[in-house]
Structure 1
């Protein structure tokens, strides 16, 4: 359209002015929303995309955080292709701030804390993790303190110093074939992941820590028979997960991983479970059971809502408290109990033969 035709048409000129003003206001509001939601890198108070104004009744009736998974670091020395909590930042809360958050959780009803990552033993060579474990058991008197690790960074001296304060140590192992672990990314160089697994199993027995194995079933291991190896290792629980896609983590344009090639069907997952039905310690978790049945805290102590297939953060419990933040967690408490999330999780109650 020529300029003369615009000038000679007051109606078109008015529409152009309105459009320009709308674009300007949209840009301003977008920036204001960005800064007020704490979305800039390094803050601990980013909001969920949903409205953050809560009804007082909703806060009072908020879910009790019986069992919480605290991913205090995203850094990891492995590169598992399906990882759904990837190394987007290197941020870790100061120790005293992390302790303050854990105390708030205990005061809100937390009975079990699980430390994860990333790789939790990577930060400060495991000392940061050890101090949190000791604090939760000794100071907070939590019934259950557990860790999920890939096992590669664990040393015996850690058990000597902190083993008394730990109830459960879960080591992630997706295959009992070294080549398969390499293909998955469950490895560091040519170091044997399985050697670490068996060594940690022995340390757990020696230092009286309940030993657990977590396996993610995917296209690379779905046809494997693990019965003999699991029976030999005899973990107290063998958690078997169906490979899960989370937008922004292991799927989508902004993801650090591309996990689509690892995904298996519900039928394939069920066939794997059927093949291992003789293993008494097996605890299966399909995508349906897993997605919303965990209370997940990220490195800023924000609850992560996975209902939309991504991880939308609440405000940090350090800023607004547990009851306010947990309302945005998307937590499905019924599914938590249905999948067996509550069990005998104190090693004192497990009556294990050491």
Structure 2
């Protein structure tokens, strides 16, 4: 395991303060949803992407706008619709007339070319159009007409989707959903938060947000997050947790064997470790603690477990299964 240098240790001291300013500024604009805000910050620091699920009107779009403003990132919004084409996202070559009167092909960039991309209601678009976004997320590049264009760091996609029970939605395939580091569920606000939302959105006052974190500093934090250490014992815990999601493995509980059809892919383990490292860094630590792993387990894995017919019929939630798995997993010493 690589040793953390003293130079890195000095950088860490200011990380918690930087993230604290970002968090505080966002919460001036977004009422409640502290867990969702925290999850987005962890994913951003880890270099992953976020899938936000909730019914319309819960402030998902406002959260993305706030994050873009306070981090000084270029941001775009893509409203997905059933008639949208892949080129509406990636861009396309167009014949344009130059000053000399000649017409030549030039690439017109689509809205995917931004640091922060809000993919609104992604499950209202057809699978072909969804794939254009998801491939860009995976490759951090766009290929159009045989020409490849790199996307600029940081590249962070926050996709929103309506619950799949709603009409006019196209469920994301499991392999596509797997590309999101986190799936965050945006819950309906309680009475206190709802009252605050109504006051803020029906009055005359508007909240102005300040940019408190530069793009260059954010890239530094993302690179620093990768240098956070994880012990063999913590890594072994992550392996144990991932294997326990697979019904055919000996680590699986009776509940998993009864209700789960497919467990998490190895990408789920990567997500847990990367997110745990980011969480540790946000708290000013250069090592991953057991609690870091357990705290990021739900958003990192809830979209990677596929229930069988019995689980779907009985209304079993993946969070319930993950809670049982987390409670049964034990941190053991690794010699």
Give the TM-score taking structure 1 as reference length: 0.27
Could you tell me the TM-score, scaled by structure 2's length?
0.28
In terms of fraction of residues, the more helix-rich structure is 2
Structure of greater Rg: 1
